[in-house]
Amino acid sequence: MNVQYVTVLGATGSIGVNTLDVISRHPDRYRVFALCAHTQIEKLFEQCRMHTPRYAVVRDAELAEDLSRRCRCAGLATEVLHGVDALVAVASAPEVDSVMAAIVGAAGLAPTLAAARAGKRILLANKEVLVMAGQLFMEAVRQHGAQLLPVDSEHNAIFQALPADFSRGLGPCGVRRVLLTASGGPFRNAPQSALAHVTPEEACAHPNWVMGRKISVDSASMMNKGLEVIEAHWLFSCPAEAIQVVVHPQSVIHSLVEYIDGSVLAQLGNPDMRTPIAYALAWPERIDAGVSQLDLFQIARLDFQPPDFTRFPCLRLAYDVLAAGGTAPAILNAANEIAVAAFLERRLPFLGIPRLIEATLATVSVSSANRLDDVLAADASARRVAEAMISEMLVT
């Protein structure tokens, strides 16, 4: 068995930590080539001690010097790099077989695109790559022979439930639609009036999943599910009208695929990200992920309900920008990142998140997204507009 070398983009986040847990269970199959993080030096250093990567990448030179000193003192041979160019280098290095793309937000775009252009196996956990530049990214995957394995539990479930030849089109494969499940987040049953007073701590307290703060807020607003709708469109060549969001509070069914003969195939499992990570790492094989067995008798019941677009306008906005096309999804994503950051800093109320996104979409012009520069320009413009609106207190 050949050893596979893995670069982990976003190593200190929840996806990165779970990826390293799975890798550590299979030392005969996997080695860590590079670990990449933003600013969590202490956590990254401990990961370097445990996994002895060839490279570690951080945000800037000062952090790199700090980590490099720690590694030298510990007798580690890990070389520490910094910046976007370093991320691109470790994602596309000839020695690398697989890249876990788990950097949150737009920052993950450049290295993930580089991995696609280098023909790597990409374990995609950064949904913003497809939201911002879906057409460009999927073209790079096809042109350079990269393998794309979705790690989001919902898309991974759909991937497992689709026929092997789904790339020829869902219609010819007999697929009627895909159903993306959503937990509904912490405010699924909260009174509408209570949403005006939501705190960051409440928004980050997800009932089923342990996640980072940004993605937790996205889950609370259901923007996370909106981004996943856009992601599913690109991953599976699926039109918006064939993507149905289903609120499923137990998070046991991770998603479903409905066929024209009436069959509905679902993937079930405990809500543990190590399952889709292990599936993506080993596909088409399956390996132990350290996940406990699903006890259907303990679960006893599975509930489903339609999403409330009035309570969660972010989901409606995602469908709107998917229909608009061009740079509209990039504008939505950028405005959302600014809005969520402002909410976490208590500069914007929870209900201000969709209002700021909608106001930004109404202000920034949508153009074609044929080049990466088009996407990046729309992203930058949307961020400027959104920040200005917050500063001018135009969104409350």
Cα–Cα distance measured from residue 111 to residue 69, given in angstroms and rounded to the nearest whole number = 26
Nearest of 23, 22, 21, 17 to residue 5 by alpha carbon: 23
Number of neighbouring beta carbons within 10 Å of residue 383: 18
Cβ proximity of 59 and 87 under 8 Å: no
Q: pLDDT digits over 129-167, tens only?
A: 999 999 999 999 999 999 999 999 999 999 999 998 888
Residue 9 reports pLDDT greater than 80: yes
Q: pLDDT digits over 12-36, tens only?
A: 999 999 999 999 999 999 999 999 9
| Strand pairing report for 4-9 and 30-36 | parallel
Three-state DSSP at 161 gives helix
Helix or strand (DSSP H, E) at 363: helix 352-363
- pLDDT for the residue numbered 394: 58
Helix or strand (DSSP H, E) at 164: none
Enter the tokens of residue 316. Answer: 């409606």
Q: Give the pLDDT band (50/70/90) at residue 187.
A: confident
- pLDDT for the residue numbered 346: 94
Residue 184 reports pLDDT greater than 60: yes
Cα–Cα distance measured from residue 224 to residue 232, given in angstroms and rounded to the nearest whole number = 12
- pLDDT for the residue numbered 213: 85
- pLDDT for the residue numbered 275: 97
Instruction: Tell me the angle at which helices 213-221 and 352-363 cross, rounded to the nearest 10 degrees.
Output: 90
Partners of 256 in the β-ladder: 179, 266
Cα–Cα distance measured from residue 69 to residue 71, given in angstroms and rounded to the nearest whole number = 5
- pLDDT for the residue numbered 209: 63
Q: pLDDT digits over 214-231, tens only?
A: 888 999 999 999 999 999
Percentage, residues of the chain above pLDDT 70: 97
In this predicted structure, which of 48-52, 146-150, 308-312 has the lowest mean pLDDT?
308-312
- pLDDT for the residue numbered 359: 97
Q: What are phi and psi of 67, to 5 degrees?
A: -65, -40
| Strand pairing report for 264-268 and 253-259 | antiparallel
Cβ proximity of 150 and 281 under 8 Å: no
- pLDDT for the residue numbered 395: 56
Domain boundaries, the chain: 4-150, 158-299, 325-391
Q: What are phi and psi of 34, to 5 degrees?
A: -150, 145
Query: Domain 4-150 belongs to what architecture?
Result: 3-Layer(aba) Sandwich (3.40)
Give 386 or 166, the one with higher predicted confidence.
386
CATH class as words, domain 325-391: mainly alpha
Q: What is the mean pLDDT of residues 234-240?
A: 94
Which residues are CB-contacts of 37 (< 8 A; sequence separation ≥ 6)? 10, 11, 12, 16, 43, 44, 56, 57, 58
Q: What are phi and psi of 12, to 5 degrees?
A: -90, -5
Q: Give the pLDDT band (50/70/90) at residue 194.
A: confident
Q: What is the mean pLDDT of residues 75-82?
A: 97
Q: pLDDT digits over 319-362, tens only?
A: 999 999 999 999 999 999 999 999 999 999 999 999 999 999 99
Q: Give the pLDDT band (50/70/90) at residue 396.
A: low
Cα–Cα distance measured from residue 152 to residue 171, given in angstroms and rounded to the nearest whole number = 24
Three-state DSSP at 123 gives strand
What is the DSSP-derived secondary structure letter of residue 305?
Answer: B
- Cis ω on the peptide bond leading into residue 284 (within 30° of 0)? yes
In this predicted structure, which of 39-48, 135-144, 206-215 has the lowest mean pLDDT?
206-215
Residue 210 reports pLDDT greater than 70: no
Cα–Cα distance measured from residue 11 to residue 19, given in angstroms and rounded to the nearest whole number = 8
Q: Give the pLDDT band (50/70/90) at residue 208.
A: low
Q: pLDDT digits over 258-305, tens only?
A: 999 999 999 999 999 999 999 999 999 999 999 999 999 999 999 999
